[in-house]
Amino acid sequence: MTEQYEIILPPFRRGIHLIDHFILKQIGSLPEKGLVNIFIKHTSAGLIISENADPDVSNDLEKFLNKIVPENLSWYQHTIEGPDDMPAHIKSILTSQSLTIPITNGKLNLGTWQGIFLCEFRNHASGRKLVITVFG
C-alpha cells in the first residue's frame, strides 16, 4: 500500500516549529509497519528531526543558524527578495528537504524526545507545501 498526501501548513513566523500534529492529522491511520517520507516543496525552508521536549533547543538552533548564515553580507548577489532570502536558501540546504521515518505498530517510530520540525527561514512566509508519502 502506498498513499500520498499534499498538505499546506499554515504560515509560521520565522523560527523552528514542531509540526508532528499537522502531519498526523492529515494522514490519519498508519499501516502496522512501513515508512513515511515527508518532502517540503520550498527552497527557503527546511525540515529536521530534533528535541521536542524543551523549546529552548529550537530557539538555540535558530540562533546558531542565524550566526553561521547571517543576513546582509556584502557578497550576496541574490538580494532582490530581501535580506532574509539568500540566507534562507543557504539554511535550507544545511537542514533537509526530505525526512524518512519508520512506522512500527501503526505509529511513527520516533525516539522519546524526537519531533518533526519546520524550519521557517523567511520573515514573511506563506503556508508551506509538504508531500507526505506513506509506504506500508
CA atoms within 13 A on the CB side of 85: 8
pTM here is: 0.96
Q: How confident is the model at residue 16 (pLDDT cuts 50, 70, 90)?
A: very high
Assign a CATH topology to domain 2-70+78-135.
Jelly Rolls (2.60.120)
Cell of 116: 518533526
Q: How confident is the model at residue 126 (pLDDT cuts 50, 70, 90)?
A: very high
Instruction: State residue 121 phi and psi, 5-degree precision.
Output: -105, -5
Question: What are 94-122's pLDDT values in tens digits?
Answer: 999 999 999 999 999 999 999 999 999 99
Domains of the chain by residue range: 2-70+78-135
**Angle between helical axes of 55-68 and 85-94 (0-180°, round to 10):** 120
Question: What are 24-77's pLDDT values in tens digits?
Answer: 999 989 999 999 999 999 999 999 999 999 999 999 999 999 999 999 999 999
Q: Is 7 exposed, middle or buried (0-12, 13-18, 19+ CB in 10 A)?
A: middle
**CA 63 – CA 54 distance, rounded (Å):** 15
